[in-house]
Amino acid sequence: MDWNNNVGSGGEAFESLGGVLEDGLERLVASQAQDGSWQHAFDTGVMPDAQTAIGLYLLGEQAWDWVRPLLVRLQAMQEEHGGWSVYPGDGGDLSTTVECYYALTLWRAWPVGSELAKCRAEKFIRERGGLRKCRNLTKTWLAVGGEILWRELPSARWYSMLLRRGSPIRLEQLTIFTQLHIVPMLLLGHLRYVSPYAKAPVLTNLDMHSRISRRGSSWTGDKDARTTNARRLLVRRRASERCRQMIQQHQEDDGTLAGYHSSTFLWLLAKRAWVHPDTCDVSQELCSIRKNCLFIAGEFGKHQQTCNAHVWNTSLALQALQEKSLWAHEKTHARAIDRGVAYLLTHQHRMEYGGGWAFSSNNTRHPDTDDTVAALTALMPVRTSHAAAWSRGVQFLLDRQNKDGGWSAFVKNAGKSYLEWIPANDMKRAMADPSTADVTGRVLEFLARSQSLPSAHPVVARGCRWLLRHQEADGSWYGRWGTAYVYGTWCAVRALVSQTHQAGVRASLQVALDWLMSVQREDGGFGESAASECLGHYVPLGHSLPTQTAWALDTLVALATGDLDEALRRAAQRSAERCVLWLLKHEHHGQWEEDYPTGSAFAGALHIRYHIYREVWPLIALSRFAEMVESGHAGSVKGGEQHGASALICSLSLKDCQSHVLAQNPSDSSLLLAGRLGHARGSCSTCRPHELRIERADHACGAGRSRAVACGAAD
């Protein structure tokens, strides 16, 4: 695309790039919390809202002021088919619907006149098999509430095998969040605990099998007898002591299990099973959980986050502020950056836990690879002044490389695929923690950018070989923790563009670009459905998303500036320009609208909408694109002249430089012909007198426009 000939189709949009970046960065700085963090919502849908309401009821906590806004959100999120979804367009999810229906029914929170909505929910549940078709986690809530019998869940004896020494499958082999859920589920299953606050079943009309003949009128007495007998059995089991030890090992000072709320609620119920409910204090844990309940702008009610994302959010926000940009207000941003850096440094884990970073602010014992990469990337500009923290973090990453050459998220060398076929597992990808393209790519990109290791180092070479081996046949990569193939391809490509000297990398990048261009939408953006994760192949969404378009743009910029052949770089540049146009045309005061999840936890069960993604990823990608243009990598090369880059530089509007120059030189109108001040890095002669000088010149954009020319450079 020749920028100076693009006035009609997109030139005006490109002229707004400077203002968009400026507005976006200012908005990001304004959203920083007092402690230096960014506390945007970690939105996992209605599931944690329902589970919180259920958990509080079964614990006997009459916290109506806490529960009521959660129930309001549940009411508002019910869909026309009667169910509740884990992502828009999935047709509804049985387990999520049962939990939402159960929460509203326990608290008698169905609104007046909602009989039709309630009937639709009941029909939805029955048509999909009823309570016994739910996932095991949902059935655990139902069993504690007395809605189903404990024998309808996988046997607790089977789970106990995970705790036996010498067992071929051990609990430590599972990924950490699964460990933290299995242990309290194991305890509750051994106890066959039924909450005394569940007076009688309320979901009998949703069970596809008769319940009366199995329980009869002695249900309450049978409940107490089962609990007492199970307690005697549990005391004799060595597994009970191991469970308590594991809980103590993983429990944070605030009482939560690694900051996860669902596992913490299960643990609180298990505590109530051991101790008489009236003497078991759970106030500290509940207070910690409640801190992560928040309003979401534009939505009804409140959302109970499954945990907070303060560390992850802060790392990404700092990366956006630190991108080399002409539009940054350096003093304002420097203060925000300093506060964010201080926050990250205080949340680095102690050496006994590895020296990395975790996702949540109250997770102090379980650092993970991805958050450590993000934090180190944010700390890269200050690594010299914080050398000790930096070296501990880098060493943590190097120590986490798996035997296969890749990196996984939580547990090293825990990628045993057979674990996913454990009979009790009904949430695939919940047991094993294998190497993934997204985490491996992000680590390799960081090692290259920070120059922590030379590109010929065996650690880097093994990681690159892992990525090449795991490229899909169509040229994409699957990303485990984002949606999904656009995400994985973004991470892998940005890692490999600096490794073109390695065998097979150039051919791999060519195929990746072909795939990326094949899924680019006609409007220039990118949109991938969360169904990709469930089906195992790319599924288009039907409309473009800012986050995924930014990931694709960042990928294309890396290809356009890499050490690749000219044809590949030009093709990448053309696709990148279309992405930029889409992002610029869909922003509003430096912000983009996005109501679709682009993060992943469990495919088809838990998808994540990071509210900070729509703010940081477009800013990062657009900043890198602008830097590419300014550095002269972009533009069509004809007759030895590079027209595209210089034309774009001249078209960028710089309000700050204009006002600054006019303030210093109010009579010098020659600097501001046509109301524009073209500029390159360093902006103008007043802002950076030692780097640039402003001079009038006839130029590729047209005679009479101002142009920024590097001092001493030939015209």
Q: Which residue in 340, 310, 309 sits closest to 322, CA to CA?
A: 340
Is it the case that residue 260 has pLDDT exceeding 80? yes
Q: Which residue in 677, 682, 648 sits closest to 662, CA to CA?
A: 677
pLDDT cut 70: percent of the chain above it:
78
d(CA 142, CA 157): 20
Q: How many CB atoms lie within 10 A of CB 426?
A: 17
CATH code of the domain made up of 3-30+401-638: 1.50.10.20
- Give residue for tokens 């990062």: 620
Using one digit for the tens of pLDDT, what is the confidence trace for 464-473?
A: 999 999 999 9
- The CATH architecture assigned to 42-304 reads Alpha/alpha barrel (1.50)
Burial 366-376 (b: 16+ CB within 10 A, else e): bbbbbbbbbbb
Higher-confidence residue of 676 and 150: namely 150
d(CA 453, CA 447): 6
Q: Is 349 exposed, middle or buried (0-12, 13-18, 19+ CB in 10 A)?
A: buried
Using one digit for the tens of pLDDT, what is the confidence trace for 290-347?
A: 999 999 988 999 999 999 999 999 999 999 999 865 555 566 689 999 999 999 999 9
Which pLDDT score, from 0 to 100, does residue 238 have? 63
Which pLDDT score, from 0 to 100, does residue 678 have? 35
Name the packing angle between helices 485-496 and 546-561 (round to 10°): 20
Structure tokens at 23: 């507005």
Amino acid at 353: Y
Domains 3-30+401-638 and 42-304 share a fold: yes
Which pLDDT score, from 0 to 100, does residue 237 have? 57
Structure tokens at 543: 């409309």
Higher-confidence residue of 646 and 550: namely 550
d(CA 446, CA 502): 17
Is it the case that residue 675 has pLDDT exceeding 50? no
Among 165-174, 329-338, 402-411, top mean pLDDT goes to 402-411
Question: Domain limits of the chain?
Answer: 3-30+401-638, 42-304, 654-710
What are phi and psi for residue 601, nearest 5 degrees? -125, -65
Q: Is 502 exposed, middle or buried (0-12, 13-18, 19+ CB in 10 A)?
A: middle
What are phi and psi for residue 84, nearest 5 degrees? -120, 145
- Cα 351 to chain center, whole Å? 26
- Give residue for tokens 């180190």: 376
Which pLDDT score, from 0 to 100, does residue 633 have? 61
Stretch among 55-59, 304-308, 669-673 having the lowest mean pLDDT: 669-673
Is it the case that residue 5 has pLDDT exceeding 70? no
CB under 8 Å to 515, separation ≥6 — which residues? 474, 475, 476, 489
